[in-house]
C-alpha cells in the first residue's frame, strides 16, 4: 500500500493519485467523507479544476446535479458544501459572495497540487514520487456525465505529464552515463504510456543503447501481450524490427 500523504502545516490532506485518501489535521482518516461519493467528487473538483481558485455555483450545478431543476440543485449544493465544511473543519471551503465557492489558499494539501508545482519547477523526480497511479482510479458519480468527462480528460492529462517526466529523467540519466537509471526511467515512461507504440520504441532503443537487452525484451513482450489482449493486433513492423535488432546484438 502506498504511504500516506501527511498534511502540511496542520491542514487536512487529500490524496488522489493511485487511490483516494483524506486525512484531517491530526492525520486521522476522515472516514465519513470518504464514504460519500458526491461530496468527495465536489472536493476533488474544487481543488484540482482549472483555472484554480473559486468556481461559479452555476457551473457546479451543471456538473453534479444536471438532473435537478435549479432550486433543488442549489439546495443539493448547499447540503454538500455543509457536509464538506463539517468534515474538514472551518476555513477550508470558502465562499465569495453568493455565487463563487472554492478552497481557501493553503487550507488543504493535495498530491495533485504538489505534482503540478513539481512539474512547473522542473522537478521531474519529485513529480513521479507523487504520482502513485491514475487520478481517482475507478471513481464514478452517477448522473454526473459532465463531471466524468472532466475527470477522464484530467486523468489522461496527468498520466501524459507523468510519462513525459519519466522520459525526461531517462534522457538525462543517459546523458550522465547512468545506464541503470536511464533504463529504469525508460521502462517507467513506457509503462505510463501502455499503448503508445512510439514511446515503447523510444524506450526499446534506449534500453538497447545502454546494453539492457533483457529489459528491452521484457518490455517488448509485455507490450505485445497488452496489444493482443486489448486489440487483438501485433506490434508495428518498425517495433518488431527494432526488437529483432536488439536481440541480435
Pairing of strands 109-110, 13-15: parallel
Residues ≥6 apart with Cβ < 8 Å to 213: 207, 246, 247, 249
* Ranges in the chain, pLDDT < 70: 1-9
Grid coordinates in use for 159? 498520466
CA trace torsion 228, 234, 238, 241 (10° rounding) = 100
Count other C-beta atoms under 10 Å from residue 172's C-beta: 15
Residue 21, helix vs strand vs coil: strand
pLDDT value of residue 1: 31
Taking the C-alpha atoms of residue 93 and residue 88, their distance in angstroms, rounded to an integer, is: 8
Q: Check if the beta carbon of residue 235 is closer than 8 Å to that of residue 190.
A: no
pLDDT value of residue 97: 83
pLDDT value of residue 90: 87
Residues ≥6 apart with Cβ < 8 Å to 54: 94, 96, 100, 101, 102
Please indicate, yes or no, whether the overall pTM of this predicted structure exceeds 0.75.
yes
pLDDT value of residue 9: 53
Where in the chain are the domains? 1-176, 179-249
pLDDT value of residue 249: 78
Amino acid at each position: 500500500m502506498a504511504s500516506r500523504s501527511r498534511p502540511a502545516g496542520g491542514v487536512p490532506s487529500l490524496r488522489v493519485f493511485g487511490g483516494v485518501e483524506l486525512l484531517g489535521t491530526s492525520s486521522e482518516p476522515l472516514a465519513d467523507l470518504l464514504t460519500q461519493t458526491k461530496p468527495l467528487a465536489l472536493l476533488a473538483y474544487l481543488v484540482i479544476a482549472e483555472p484554480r481558485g473559486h468556481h461559479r455555483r452555476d457551473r457546479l450545478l451543471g456538473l453534479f446535479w444536471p438532473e435537478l431543476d435549479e432550486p433543488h440543485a442549489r439546495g443539493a449544493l448547499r447540503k454538500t458544501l455543509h457536509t464538506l465544511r463539517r468534515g474538514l473543519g472551518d476555513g477550508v471551503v470558502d465562499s465569495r459572495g453568493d455565487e463563487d465557492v472554492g478552497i481557501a489558499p493553503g487550507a488543504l494539501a493535495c498530491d495533485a497540487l504538489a505534482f503540478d508545482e513539481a512539474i512547473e519547477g522542473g522537478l521531474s523526480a519529485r513529480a513521479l514520487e507523487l504520482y502513485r497511479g491514475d487520478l481517482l482510479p475507478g471513481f464514478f458519480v452517477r448522473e454526473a456525465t459532465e463531471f466524468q468527462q472532466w475527470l477522464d480528460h484530467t486523468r489522461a492529462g496527468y498520466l501524459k505529464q507523468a510519462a513525459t517526466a519519466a522520459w525526461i529523467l531517462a534522457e538525462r540519466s543517459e546523458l550522465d552515463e547512468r545506464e541503470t537509471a536511464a533504463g529504469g526511467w525508460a521502462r517507467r515512461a513506457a509503462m505510463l504510456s501502455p499503448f503508445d507504440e512510439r514511446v515503447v520504441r523510444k524506450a526499446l532503443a534506449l534500453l538497447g543503447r545502454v546494453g539492457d537487452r533483457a529489459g528491452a525484451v521484457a518490455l517488448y513482450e509485455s507490450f505485445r501481450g497488452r496489444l493482443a489482449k486489448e486489440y487483438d493486433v501485433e506490434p508495428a513492423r518498425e517495433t518488431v524490427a527494432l526488437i529483432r535488432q536488439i536481440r541480435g546484438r
